[in-house]
Chain A
Amino acid sequence: MMSSSFNVFRVGISFVMMCIFYKSAVDALPELSPQKFFSTLQPGKATLAYFCQADSPSTSVFLEELNEAVKPLQDYGISVAKVNCVTEETSRYCGKEKDLMKAYLFRGNILLREFPTDTLFDVNAIIAHVLFALLFNEVKYINTLGDLQNIENALKGKTNIAFSYVRAIGTPEHRAVMEAAFVYGTTYQFVLTTEIAILESIGTEDIEYAHFYFFHCKPVSDLTQQCRRTLMEQPLTTLNIHRFIKTMEAPLLAEVAEDPQQVSTVHLQLGLPLVFIVSRQATYEADRTTAEWVAWRLLGKAGVLLLLRDSLEVDIPEHANVIFKRAEEGMPVEFLVLHDIDLIISRVESNTHMKETQEYEDNDMEGPDMDIQDDEVAETVYRDRKRQLPLELTVELTEETFNATVTASDSLVLFYAGWQAVSMAFLQSYVDVAVKLKGTSTLLLTRVNCADWSYVCTKQNVTDFPVVKMYKEGENPVSYAGMLGTEELLKFIQLNRISCPVNITSVQGAEEFLSGELYKDLITYSRVSVLGLFSPTMTTAKEEFTEAGKHLKGCVITGVYSEEDVLILSDKHAVTLPALLLARHQEGKIESIPLANAHVQDIVQIITNALLETFPEITVENLPTYLRLKKPLLILFSDGSINPQHKKAILTLVKEKHLDSLTPCWLNIKNTPVGRGILQVYFDALPPLPLLVVVNLHSGGQVFAFPSDQAVSEQNLLLWLKKVEAGLESPITILPAQEWKPPLPAYDFLSMMDAAASQHPPKKIPECMKETDVQENGEQPEEKSAIRNEPTGTLRIKHWSRSNWFGEAKKSFAYDNKEL
């Protein structure tokens, strides 16, 4: 990050300065003989030469560093050379011993300085020393406070001073100062010291490596007055000094009378915010004083402008007295009401602080953001939160109305919690049901928000959400156990209109029941009608059946016939009593099943199994009922309706009992588009549909595909299935058997607390934990927002701006370049 932006700056300098100097295209360190070397020296041009013995090793730490310095020094018009001291051409610069070799700085052919190689310990030191020697006049080195005062006094009213302290000569900070001096040395007097005492005496606390001050001496007219000083708060780098000096050069306070959104100054280009002090004609003088004061306080941190509101055409909120404009492009200006100047300052400072940490975090950010919702139900419900549901079609029950309502009329009650995503998703389906039933049903559709009426829900034994219960007079409430969707719930409601089982009292009625005539409007919801046949004396068997009917309430139509003439029916269907008659309405078939000694659970099982089809179209809704069989699935994927021949082939195999170990089914991609997702998992390259596969879900997860070049015929299928069974076919894929692990890590608060307690960063930071989170502990309060608990929206926006800042920063450096 830093190095790349520095590059930008350096190129900038080259552009301005290098036209004066001859710019060498050669980057490598040239190796010359002494004679050759001296012949290349040009008048006025500076050259750094390292004299070494010809037989010395060609690589050394110094040479490596020198090599690195070639390019940067060239940018300043300084050439670098390595001079090999061969014995024939002795030079006085060639030392006698290998380890006494030195580097020499020439201007033209005049020797300026000689450097023992150990002072040029790295590339920074090389550049710092060379520039220091060349800029002898531009950069005054001082030892005492008196020196500083003398310079200051001499320059009052004339020139501003760039004063810097560095810990030692040759440090990276020293280099940064020298590089800045190279550019600005003629504009400002640079003063440098390595004496910490000087810094202390001008009142700087917590001195670390380096400090850079700008002394505003030029405006000082009265010699007894001190020059104002502005401290650069950023670390001493070339770029920071450049930015800092740029802001020192900008006018302290500008007056504007235009839309703040449009105003741009050098500050914005340097990535600093703008603060507008809103002024009116009436208070102009006072505002200007305030603004100046603020401007001095924010010098180097933000641009301050006085906005003349009276002559402004754009609207500014009535009470806003400060406008804050961030450097990031596209950010809207913020209108603020601040009654304390310190608040303006802290606003700017916290903003810069935030930016720094964000930048840091940005670099550190690895992996996905834990604050991004990855729960599809929660996210979709959240996104849909603003939609108005026609809730008025369902009656909202309260603690006061609940009992009265459910006892007064047959009611369906949805128990939900307003904050729980799953129940809110289901509420939508529930409302859809209400829309469909509007005006047609006697059943009252009601709902209880358990977030409001907690005790009502607890009393009804509802502790999970969502729950649907049906309350009918004189009956125990029945919990709905079907799919949480409109269609399935509608079916449950419709089938609950009739009692379960229905008591049939005549043979005629029984025939109508079996033919579907009796409940014409219901047979769309129940493919099968079940009639229990009992002789009047079979009370136990009848009770068992009645009980089973209650279990299946809402799933299937059941009826019971136990009149004296029941034999008419049993004879007709050739079955002994007690018995079940299953009427499959679509196929127009009636099956009979004897029921001797069957208990409730057996009967329920018999009926549930009877509800299964032999070759069903598999859908999202019905898959679970077929998965219960725990058999491998034989699925025919079809794009549209099934090919009748394929269907026939499979049905034949079913009939011949070849498919007993499988659950044969087909999937219509048009009805169940998610089938495409499944096929994509099964096949790398998709052959055309239809496709026939065996999926062994419950043991092993192998998927076998019927060869697409074969016709789906009984023989081919049978042969293939036998091969599959015998293990002669290889699976096209094996379904993964991984457990479902947490999709993302959680915040490790325990480590953060430990870290805070021990004042040390934790030993192990979980992958997603940002290091800054841990380190910021101490200064946390500064970072937080002034507003208690921002709404989630703001929170998210913060993340957004955080991830975007990096890009914005780059842009601001691009401006930087232009500026130069």
Chain B
Amino acid sequence: MGLSAAAPLWGPLGLLLTVALHPALSLRSARAWAPRHHRDYCVLGAGPAGLQMAYFLQRAGRDYVVFERAPGPGSFFTRFPRHRKLLSINKRYTGKANAEFNLRHDWNSLLSHDPQLLFRHYSSAYFPDAGDMVRYLRDFADKLGLPVLYNTTIAHVTLNKDRRAWNGHYFILTDQKGQAYQCSVLLVATGLSVPNQVDFPGSEYVDGYESVSVDPEDFVGQNVLILGRGNSAFETAENILGVTNFIHMLSRSRVRLSWATHYVGDLRAINNGLLDTYQLKSLDGLLESDLTDLAIVKDRQGKFHITLKFFLEENNQSADAITLPQDESDNFAMRVAYDRVIRCLGWNFNFSIFSKSLRLSSGGEFSKKYPLVRASYESKGSRGLFVLGTASHSVDYRKSAGGFIHGFRYTVRAVHRLLEQRHHDVPWPSTQHPITQLASAIIRRVNEASGLYQMFSVLADVVLLKENATAFEYLEEFPMRMLAQLESITGRQARHGLFVINMEYGKNFSGPDKDVFFYDRSVGHTEDAWQSNFLHPVIYYYRHLPTEQEVRFRPADWPLPRPTAIHHIVEDFLTDWTAPVGHILPLRRFLENCLDTDLRSFYAESCFLFALTRQKLPPFCQQGYLRTQGLMGTESLRQHGVESGLLRDYAAVGWRPGDSGQQPGSQGPGRQPLAPGPPIQHFDGNKEEL
């Protein structure tokens, strides 16, 4: 630019030439020592989460780039899982046309506007092959034209304070060639890439999951000990179960079965063949012990013996002389010698590339492998740094699906919505509705929304009421634990009360030791809905937006602070919450009582009657009939109304004074002031019909 602008001036003014050339030269020389490649958004990693974020940034037309150290997207899946079978279900048929609903049962697709980019077009296997995931991710990046810098390893990330920057600092990323990039916002989607290793004497004899042979032939007639009790451990065991003498599995905690904990990261039934053989007395077995207390000793035959670290410290002798637990307790469970010990202890986040200045620390005691983030996925250490994807799982570890594609595709979208509001004044998307549509809006979402369903108790829908509760705004998939900061995150106002729509399992239903098949586990009656065990919608009503304190010190086991009122829609075997009496009616009653109004719908004739016999009209008549959008109904519906006692057949009314019968008017205020009207129906007639 500098050069071309200077060119016409070359002839007449030599001085100008040097002036013009100077910035161009300095720019070139600067590259070696100062970052000049600026991007508003830098995404680290082109795995599913990185690509998902890239998609949203692309659609919003933002200035961004994705860095990927491998030559293609989804490099983790090129090697892992070692036995190539993904545990994420690829449910291609649900019997429903609703594409949003179908995403509830599609655990592999990323979100996009292109129906061709659904995983079901990539594999027909219910548990698909990891290779298909690699292919899918490549297509996702290519078809959508996402700009990924492949073969670019970001080796170092630092912070550069700058008052002009969006967040008061820039993130400086340096790649393997020393090329630096300056980013306003850093989106870390690097997953968990470092194998988790436990240090104990003899740990050098252990094969790691990442490198152990996957050929069952290599294990024929062997005694195998597997350390770990996750899916990778069981997946490894499953592969060699048929050829080994026996497999013992050792880990600190008891096995957590995903169908008991309702957490997809726990042991999935597809992998649990060893549990079956263990319990059916087939030599295989599970043991519980803390790995850090152990030691492995190799004998002369090259076999491994398990002993305690404590014995090693005692006497520093040759391998054969080391005390083994069976010397003292001759029925010690692991007294046999093992041919192989395999470590399958999971993965950790790679903290090493982040400079201390970023203050990216590891999560609490229970999620050490994850970086510490807020419920908004923003790092607690530095503003503008967000962790996406698997690495963001500390938010809902062992609870929801945030560590998996089918969960984090939604949390990534939530982060993107937050960024749009924060940096581009694009408020959180919302729709406006009259209050009469409230029950419908909620019913629609709880029946189809996939984000609510997958990210239950993490992302929730929010209904913001307008003044006098005549209208409302509907916001989807808000990170519910950021509720106190809703106004600043979404750019929407919550002055007049709000509803939060969440999905929850029963309070005491999930857990590794829970009997999830207990008799009569299901709740059928609407009045018992709060005891529902299976995933079901729960609606919280707040008169005021809860404060940060209230959210932080919410009751134990509650996803949100104590609300003004709460409603559970009773669990449903088909997850179809559209039953008029079982689901919609109790919801309406709840909403009515929160808003202190009557949300029933009325035919135009009833509204007509109300309009001429009352000074006030119910919302449905106000927002419909009075705006010439009354519901006229048909003759057959009218007949049913008359039969039910809810409508009156005025044409058949005798022309006698005092023959008031049961008029719809008696349902409303007026005739019976204050007290709700008596049951309006002829009970017998109604019930016979049923």
Contacts and interface: CB of A to CB of B under 8 A. Distances in A.
Interface of A: 368-384, 387, 398-399, 417-422, 425-426, 428-429, 432, 450-455, 463-465, 481-488, 620-621, 623-625, 627, 633, 635, 672-678, 680-686, 695, 697, 701, 735-750, 752-753, 770, 773, 777, 780-790, 792-793, 795-800, 803
Nearest to A384: B640
25 contacts: A374-B667, A377-B603, A379-B646, A384-B636, A384-B640, A398-B97, A419-B447, A429-B634, A454-B444, A464-B441, A481-B627, A481-B629, A482-B629, A483-B628, A484-B632, A620-B632, A627-B611, A673-B649, A736-B669, A736-B670, A745-B593, A746-B590, A749-B530, A749-B568, A773-B528
A800 B683 CA distance: 10
B615 interface: yes
B527 interface: yes
A463 B582 contact: no
B447 A623 contact: no
Contact of B606 (A373, A376, A378, A735): A376
B648 interface: yes
Of listed A377, A635, A686, A753, residue having the most chain B CB within 10 A: A377
B633 A485 contact: yes
B567 A738 contact: no
Nearest to B564: A750
Nearest to B612: A678
B265 interface: no
B589 A378 contact: no
Nearest to A783: B520
B177 interface: no
Contacts of B434: 464
A739 B614 CA distance: 10
Contacts of A787: 524
A737 B614 CA distance: 6
B440 interface: yes
Given A624-B628, A742-B596, A749-B530, A796 B581 contact: yes
A738 B670 contact: yes
Interface stretch (B153-161, B383-391, B406-414, B570-578): B570-578
B628 A784 contact: no
A95 to B, nearest CB: 60
B643 interface: yes
A419 B571 CA distance: 17
A380 B633 contact: yes
B524 A789 contact: yes
Kindly name the residue among A376, A422, A782 whose own CB sees the greatest number of chain B CB atoms within 10 A: A376
A741 B596 contact: yes
Given A428-B634, A784-B523, A686 B592 contact: no
Interface string B654-665: 011111100111
A792 B657 CA distance: 40
Given A374-B667, A377-B603, A379-B641, A746 B589 contact: yes
Nearest to A773: B527
Nearest to A749: B530
B280 interface: no
Contacts of A773: 527-528
B632 A621 contact: yes
Given A372-B681, A429-B633, A789-B572, A454 B520 contact: no
Contacts of A379: 580, 640-641, 644, 646
A387 B634 CA distance: 13
Interface stretch (B141-149, B318-326, B368-376, B672-680): B672-680
B651 interface: yes
Given A379-B640, A452-B98, A483-B604, A417 B524 contact: no
A611 B602 CA distance: 27
B520 A451 contact: no
A788 B668 CA distance: 37
Contact of B589 (A370, A620, A672, A684): A370
Contacts of A371: 526-527, 581, 585-586
Interface string B456-470: 000000000000000
Contact of A742 (B571, B592, B663, B687): B592
Contacts of B648: 677
A380 B601 CA distance: 11
Contacts of A673: 649-651, 653
B441 A740 contact: no
Contacts of A789: 522, 524, 570-574
B46 interface: no
A383 B637 CA distance: 8
Most buried by B among A627, A677, A736, A800: A677
B33 interface: no
A746 B593 contact: yes
Nearest to A698: B615
A635 B648 CA distance: 22
A377 B602 contact: yes
Nearest to B541: A750
Contacts of A740: 597-598, 616-619, 668-669
A784 B518 CA distance: 12
B520 A785 contact: yes
Nearest to B568: A749
Given A373-B581, A678-B613, A741 B597 contact: yes
B631 A485 contact: yes
A178 to B, nearest CB: 41
A621 B433 contact: no
A637 to B, nearest CB: 11
B334 interface: no
B524 A784 contact: yes
Q: Name which of A371, A419, A793 has the most chain B CB atoms within 10 A of its CB.
A: A419
A257 to B, nearest CB: 35
A382 B580 contact: yes
B589 A624 contact: no
B190 interface: no
Given A379-B644, A686-B655, A743-B600, 11 more contacts: A373-B585, A377-B631, A383-B643, A425-B633, A451-B444, A677-B613, A741-B597, A742-B598, A747-B527, A784-B524, A785-B522
B44 interface: no
Q: What 6 A-B pairs are tightest by C-beta distance, nearest first? A: A485-B632, A738-B669, A736-B670, A419-B578, A673-B650, A368-B679
B19 interface: no
Contacts of B681: 372, 374
A503 B58 CA distance: 46
A321 to B, nearest CB: 20
B636 A387 contact: yes
Contacts of B567: 746-747, 749
B537 to A, nearest CB: 12
B565 interface: yes
Nearest to B591: A746
B647 interface: yes
Contacts of A674: 605, 608-609, 650
A742 to B, nearest CB: 4
Nearest to B526: A371
B100 interface: yes
B554 to A, nearest CB: 14
A747 B590 contact: yes
A739 B616 contact: yes
Contact of B680 (A374, A381, A481, A683): A374
